[in-house]
């Protein structure tokens, strides 16, 4: 199958091009004659970028599928321009056994919608102490995480890092000292981040810090990265968008911070400290949100949010945004995508950067509707998504 994508402005992390893109059997190739193409896709008035990759997502499957499942979550991801996600393990049962892990991976492949990667838990069933289950962990696991919980015991984390290094997996960490968080969540995040930055540095263990939200935490990360520690990190769209006013009413973990924190995160994007933007897409039912469940959906609106906060505002270029939404997370997950170069997979997202739209509840693809942005005007509309050259999503609104 030979395809040509033409008449678009194409952006990746470094390039801007008006040249056609040539694809054969789902892979970007060198140019060939147009009469050799099986399909010519006219992308007039649209911007073509590598599809986005989200390193922090909750699809609630198994155990909480009344909130989301692999299929609805995948459609939600496609609507946001994503073709790859890394799922967290706080399901029921938790992802602490090969059977649960393998079942999720198999069902994700059978859906044939997006690429689904799955973390394994650091401690067995989030008990905060047991690591024996890691010995039977499937070889395909790339990341381990107790997301939603910090590993509070210092020695358990020390041993977990040694084990992760031995097994060749990366830890993606939710940083929160439980006993402190009820009193001061800023210190709770900062203190554990400092510990794990130091452990990573001394043990030379790769660590990825999830949803970094404070000035203190991101400053510590930069310090240890500059020392040469094998550290990467992500921030969320909502921590870049929201701050100060009304932040106590927005239930999310970690919470919405001050404007000083928000502006520091943006500066750390600009200086290259931040490696990725991840959504922490967290579907909840209306009843669960009413009971105080933290988090909200965000994978469908992530690009529009970041485009407005970072690009339209003049903070960074669109190339820089693609770098932290597609190129870098692809590298971190070991995926052959995220760039518009020969040999890379043809995962493309086509966007109308000039289109504004109202995000309506009835348009949400997620099973849950707990978005902060319902009825808000957003910019940068995802119009089509191709995975290895196959059309997986088209906006018909």
DSSP state at residue 345: B
Confidence of residue 160 (pLDDT cuts 50, 70, 90): very high
Q: What pLDDT score does 396 carry?
A: 80
Phi and psi angles of residue 319, each rounded to the nearest 5 degrees, phi first = -60, -45
**pLDDT digit string (tens) for 161-193?**
999 999 999 999 999 999 999 899 999 999 999
For the cut 90, the answer to whether the pLDDT of residue 95 exceeds it is yes
Tell me the C-alpha distance between 201 and 326, whole Å.
Answer: 27
- pLDDT mean over 253-262: 96
For the cut 80, the answer to whether the pLDDT of residue 102 exceeds it is yes
Q: What pLDDT score does 211 carry?
A: 98
Share of the chain above pLDDT 70, in %: 99
In sequence order, what are the beta bridge partners of 170? 143
In sequence order, what are the beta bridge partners of 209? 173, 233
**pLDDT digit string (tens) for 190-245?**
999 999 999 999 999 999 999 999 999 999 999 999 999 999 999 999 999 999 86
For the cut 80, the answer to whether the pLDDT of residue 397 exceeds it is no
For the cut 70, the answer to whether the pLDDT of residue 3 exceeds it is yes
Residue 84's nearest CA partner among 110, 116, 61 is 116
**pLDDT digit string (tens) for 28-67?**
999 999 999 999 999 999 999 999 999 999 999 999 999 9
Here the tokens at position 90 are: 């706080």
Q: Residue 189 in contact with residue 178, Cβ under 8 Å?
A: no
Q: What pLDDT score does 244 carry?
A: 87
For the cut 90, the answer to whether the pLDDT of residue 146 exceeds it is yes
Here the tokens at position 322 are: 């693609």
Tell me the C-alpha distance between 214 and 187, whole Å.
Answer: 9
Kind and range of the H or E element at 387?
strand 377-387
Tell me the C-alpha distance between 325 and 43, whole Å.
Answer: 21
Kind and range of the H or E element at 3?
strand 2-6
On whether the pTM is more than 0.85, the answer is: yes
Q: What pLDDT score does 246 carry?
A: 63
Q: What pLDDT score does 249 carry?
A: 75
Catalytic residue positions, numbered: 280
Q: What pLDDT score does 313 carry?
A: 97
Share of the chain above pLDDT 90, in %: 97
Residue 166's nearest CA partner among 219, 203, 129 is 203
CA distances from 88 to 2, 6, 116, 174 (A): 36, 37, 11, 11
**pLDDT digit string (tens) for 317-330?**
999 999 999 999 99
Return the SS3 of 372: coil
**pLDDT digit string (tens) for 104-115?**
999 999 999 999
């Amino acid at each position: 199958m030979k395809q040509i994508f033409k008449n678009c402005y194409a952006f990746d992390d470094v390039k801007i091009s008006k040249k056609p893109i040539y694809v054969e059997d789902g892979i970007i190739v060198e140019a060939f004659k147009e009469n050799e193409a099986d399909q010519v896709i006219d992308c007039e008035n649209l911007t073509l970028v590598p599809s986005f990759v989200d390193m922090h997502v909750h699809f609630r499957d198994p155990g909480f599928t009344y909130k989301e499942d692999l299929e609805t979550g995948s459609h939600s991801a496609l609507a946001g321009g994503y073709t790859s996600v890394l799922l967290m393990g706080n399901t029921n049962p938790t992802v602490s056994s090969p059977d649960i892990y393998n079942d999720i991976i198999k069902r994700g492949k059978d859906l044939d919608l997006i690429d689904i990667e799955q973390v394994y838990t650091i401690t067995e069933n989030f008990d905060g102490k047991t690591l024996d289950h890691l010995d039977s962990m499937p070889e395909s696991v790339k990341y381990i995480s107790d997301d939603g919980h910090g590993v509070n015991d210092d020695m358990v984390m020390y041993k977990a890092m040694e084990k992760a290094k031995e097994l060749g997996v990366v830890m993606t960490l939710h940083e929160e000292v439980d006993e402190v968080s009820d009193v001061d969540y800023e210190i709770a995040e900062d203190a554990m981040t400092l510990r794990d930055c130091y452990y990573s540095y001394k043990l030379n263990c790769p660590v990825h810090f999830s949803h970094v939200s404070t000035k203190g935490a991101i400053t510590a990360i930069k310090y240890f990265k500059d020392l040469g520690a094998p550290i990467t990190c992500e921030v969320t769209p909502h921590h870049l968008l929201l701050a100060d006013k009304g932040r106590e009413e927005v239930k999310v973990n970690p919470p919405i911070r001050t404007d000083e924190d928000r502006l520091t995160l943006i500066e750390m994007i600009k200086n290259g400290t931040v490696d990725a933007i991840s959504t922490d897409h967290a579907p909840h039912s209306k009843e669960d949100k009413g009971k105080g469940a933290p988090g909200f959906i965000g994978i469908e609106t992530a690009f529009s949010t970041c485009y407005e906060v970072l690009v339209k505002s003049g903070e960074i270029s669109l190339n820089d945004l693609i770098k932290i939404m597609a190129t870098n997370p692809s590298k971190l997950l070991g995926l052959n995508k995220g760039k518009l170069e020969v040999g890379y997979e043809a995962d493309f997202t086509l966007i109308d950067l000039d289109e504004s739209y109202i995000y309506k509840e009835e348009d949400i693809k997620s099973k849950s509707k707990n978005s902060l942005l319902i009825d808000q005007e957003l910019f940068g509309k995802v119009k089509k998504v191709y995975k290895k050259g196959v059309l997986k999503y088209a906006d018909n609104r």
